[in-house]
């Protein structure tokens, strides 16, 4: 059942690259890239938004599939993270690439690029490091980080935390077209992630034990 130890903790025998969930991840990533690049090439905000929606819907679908059909793996979680950032980068770089349009008023293109750059640094660097931290523990994905640290989990991988990180910036930037509002949100998210990073470093990342001859394991180097 959901939340059981069997679901929370990784099973080495279940790890594999291709599952229904990872196939969905690959398909939605390719679709997002095609739409985003096409939108940037044609100068079409509609195509770019279609790419963003494809990314969001596909990201929800692959996660639901993994949980529904019990094919949630650490490998799948890692692939999902990488593809999320590739999809996100394609959309936002495409958005910054667009020449000034009535949608953005008379704002120069470089002003739109400022909040985009801050957001991409937050999401693709700081948040990526935070998200990869789950690999230091035997859990299947960051979705179960609450068994390690509930505070970090709530701010980053709860439903509200995910929505704020992946949706708030894009929606408000697209709805208002105000680069300065996007910058405020991007900076706020960066601060939140830096605070979460501080909590993570205070928690410490466990180092896997080192195997030694004879089949035993130790966290310290063996004597020469």
To 5 degrees, how large is the angle CA 12–CA 15–CA 17? Answer: 160
SS3 130: helix
Q: Tokens 């959309």: give the residue.
A: 91
Q: What does the angle CA 24 – CA 30 – CA 34 come to, to the nearest 5 degrees?
A: 145
Confidence check: pLDDT of 48 > 60: yes
Domains of the chain: 5-205 (1.20.120)
Q: Which residues on neighbouring strands pair with residue 211, listed in sequence order?
A: 217
Classify residue 216 as exposed, middle or buried by CB count within 10 Å of its CB (0-12, 13-18, 19+). Answer: exposed
Torsion angle of C-alpha atoms 15, 19, 21, 24, degrees rounded to 10: 140
The model's pLDDT over 95-140, given as tens digits with 9 standing for 90+, comes to 988 855 545 555 555 688 899 999 999 999 999 999 999 999 999 9
| pTM across the whole model | 0.87
Q: pLDDT tens digits, residue range 5-40?
A: 778 999 999 999 999 999 999 999 999 999 999 999
Predicted confidence (pLDDT) at residue 52 exceeds the cutoff of 50: yes
Confidence grade of residue 84 (pLDDT, cut at 50, 70, 90): very high
Neighbours of 93 (CB within 10 A): 16
Report CA Rg, the chain: 20
């Amino acid at each position: 059942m959901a939340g059981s130890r069997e679901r929370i903790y990784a099973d080495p025998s279940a790890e594999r690259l291709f599952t229904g969930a990872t196939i969905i991840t690959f398909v939605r990533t390719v679709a997002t890239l095609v739409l985003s690049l096409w939108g940037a090439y044609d100068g079409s905000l509609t195509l770019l938004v279609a790419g963003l929606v494809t990314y969001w819907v596909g990201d929800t679908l692959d996660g639901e599939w993994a949980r529904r059909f019990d094919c949630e793996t650490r490998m799948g979680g890692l692939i999902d993270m990488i593809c999320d950032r590739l999809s996100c980068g394609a959309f936002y770089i495409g958005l910054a690439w667009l020449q000034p349009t009535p949608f953005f008023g008379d704002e120069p293109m470089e002003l739109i690029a400022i909040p985009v750059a801050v957001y991409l640094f937050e999401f693709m660097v700081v948040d990526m490091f935070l998200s990869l931290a789950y690999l230091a523990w035997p859990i299947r994905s960051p979705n179960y980080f609450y068994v390690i640290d509930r505070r970090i989990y709530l701010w980053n991988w709860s439903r509200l935390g995910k929505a704020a990180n992946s949706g708030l910036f894009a929606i408000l930037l697209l709805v208002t077209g105000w680069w300065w509002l996007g910058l405020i949100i991007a900076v706020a998210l960066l601060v939140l992630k830096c605070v979460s990073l501080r909590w993570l470093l205070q928690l410490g990342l466990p180092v896997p034990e080192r195997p030694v001859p004879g089949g035993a394991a130790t966290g310290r180097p063996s004597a020469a």
